[in-house]
Amino acid sequence: MIIRIGLILGIGVLLVSCNNIEPQQQNNREEAVRANTTQHEYAMVIHGGAGYMSPEKNAEEEQLALKATMDSLLLLGKELLVNNADAVDVVSHIITIMEDDPRFNAGRGAVFAENGKNELDASIMQGSDLNAGAVAGVSTVRHPILAAKEVMENSRHVFMSGAGAESFAKEQGLELVNNDYFFTQKKYDRLKMVQKEAAKTGFNEEPFPDSKYGTVGCVVLDKKGNIVAGTSTGGLTNKKYNRIGDSPVIGAGTYANNRTCGVSCTGVGEFFIRYAIAHEVSSQYMHTNRSIKQIADELIHGTLKEINADGGLIALDKFGNVAMPFNTTAMLRGYINEEEKIVALFRSEGKSKEN
């Protein structure tokens, strides 16, 4: 009798240890079968901003180099995820690399505010418990996304701004830099150009239609079934009065919920705030039977396009399905899961099912 019980227990333990699928992922798999979709083991999607690049105006080398960078970020993300990294670590790590890359409008390379300074915004949210962290208007934190992560993990707040956010980042041991660390000639020239234009036309913001945003974002579904989304930006060129865009606003530029999806947005932040776009994607996913792609498409090509609001978003649903719509001419974007990898910049690239 004792031997038989021992045997049954032993087999039980063996079965449990062989089946190392986390409960969240297991639930999703069962739901995926009912929803007639596939549960991906893991997935990651990144963007480097929506805007008005064009195959004619932007040199081919520039386009290829940007895409090569996205490609290597996707491969790095995959390697981390295959090795069981947590979504929150992958999102923050990938975004710190993009913040160090002067070609993006985030961290070093951020655009300039009217006062000639770089004022940075970032946010991160984890879908397991809806915990989130954000910082706005920081000008001395090398990696704003890490400050947002510290707010999420080591404070009882969600959103900090300006000098207070910087003191907090310092207390948490994050690297602080002089504001001129963020300087790049290209973005400075752009400020001067926009200001010259503003003096002539009275139109104060980044002039369209040739702007390139370059904000960065990342959404990850890890092997445990956790979804995390993050966004980091310098905002809009020539922004005034400590203007804050959507990127650090939870529900506008960033949102994540394990029960639905994760979202990171890019574009003219004022509209994304008014329509609470990132949360809207999650909410519609929760309350309708529409796919992540249908929901994201309708918001970007319908709701926002109708009011001339430029931008795009990246989203992953809880099964790892992706949406990457944008209503400008280009959005640097990339997606990876266990079986496919996509990197694209213009509309004609990538697969129609994603953008």
Would you tell me which residues interact with ligand ASP (CB under 6 A)? 49, 105, 213, 215, 233, 235-236, 245-247, 253, 266-269
Report d(CA 17, CA 160) in Å as an integer. Answer: 43
Catalytic residue among 96, 215, 233, 260: 215
Distance in Å, CB of 243 to ligand ASP, minimum: 8
Look up tokens 């959103």; give the residue.
159
Q: Residue 113 or 322: which CB sits closer to ligand ASP?
A: 113
Adjacent-strand bridge partners of 51: 212, 330
Q: Residue 142 or 239: which CB sits closer to ligand ASP?
A: 239
- Neighbour-count burial of 250, counting CB atoms closer than 10 A to its CB (0-12 exposed, 13-18 middle, 19+ buried): buried
Paired tokens of 188: 């400075």
Report d(CA 278, CA 320) in Å as an integer. Answer: 17
CA dihedral 258, 260, 262, 266 (to 10 degrees): -160
CA 123, 219, 321, 18 dihedral sign is negative
112 φ, ψ (degrees, to nearest 5): -100, 145
Cβ-contact 73, 201 below 8 angstroms: no
Look up tokens 């690049």; give the residue.
53
Distance in Å, CB of 46 to ligand ASP, minimum: 14
304 φ, ψ (degrees, to nearest 5): -80, -40
Distance in Å, CB of 171 to ligand ASP, minimum: 26
Q: Residue 213 or 335: which CB sits closer to ligand ASP?
A: 213
Cβ-contact 251, 262 below 8 angstroms: no
Distance in Å, CB of 8 to ligand ASP, minimum: 58
Q: Residue 223 or 239: which CB sits closer to ligand ASP?
A: 239
Give all strands (DSSP E) within the chain, no chain letters: 43-51, 120-126, 132-138, 159-161, 216-221, 227-233, 254-256, 261-267, 311-317, 322-323, 330-337, 341-346
Distance in Å, CB of 20 to ligand ASP, minimum: 39
Distance in Å, CB of 163 to ligand ASP, minimum: 20
Q: Residue 144 or 225: which CB sits closer to ligand ASP?
A: 144
Report d(CA 262, CA 317) in Å as an integer. Answer: 6
Distance in Å, CB of 191 to ligand ASP, minimum: 15
Question: Would you call the peptide bond into 209 cis, given omega within 30 degrees of 0 as the criterion?
Answer: yes
Give residue 264's identity as a one-letter amino acid code. S
* 38 catalytically annotated: no
Q: Residue 205 or 297: which CB sits closer to ligand ASP?
A: 205
- Looking at the annotation, which residues are catalytic? 215
